[in-house]
Amino acid sequence: MTLSIRHPRQAVRNFWHLVNEPRGITLLVFAGYVVLTWGGQSALRNPPNTVENAAGELAMTLLSVMFVSGGVIGALTCLPGWNWLERGGVLLSGFAALIYAGLAIYLGVTSNGNRDLQISLILFAVIMLTGRAFWIWDRPYAKRRDKSTATTA
């Protein structure tokens, strides 16, 4: 299957058939990784002041790099279904989100203002990344045989 510029409709159709099943879910996951990459690179260029002041410049830079790396790895590997590679992206993104949630909770306790919405959205991302991790860790590389019909030799 090749992607042809001369026949754009066929190229789109061919691309669509290259996307891992279930395609709709895979495209949503891809979009999530793209958003994560965008947020990470934005924080690299212009880190949030409150978080950077709480964690330090180096920690904020490392956190942003984890978000960008996890997002890029995840985006590049989820479409073709390379689960064994996507695991790295999920781990990087998940750990970065957990660290960021910890910082938001710390800031919520030690500073003025309400950070509950921010914390809830970050924890939602952690929960969804955990769900994705369960999904891709359990995916078989070859079809598993149904043990109820398998015969022993």
- pLDDT tens digits along 9-65: 877 777 787 787 888 888 999 999 999 999 999 999 998 888 888 888 898 999 999
pLDDT band at 153 (very low <50, low <70, confident <90, very high): very low
89 vs 14: CA distance, rounded Å: 26
- How confident is the model over 95-141, as pLDDT tens digits? 999 999 999 999 989 888 888 898 999 999 999 999 889 888 876 54
Q: Which residue type occupies 138?
A: D
Sign of the torsion formed by the C-alpha atoms of 132, 31, 127 and 102: positive
53 vs 43: CA distance, rounded Å: 13
Give the global pTM: 0.78
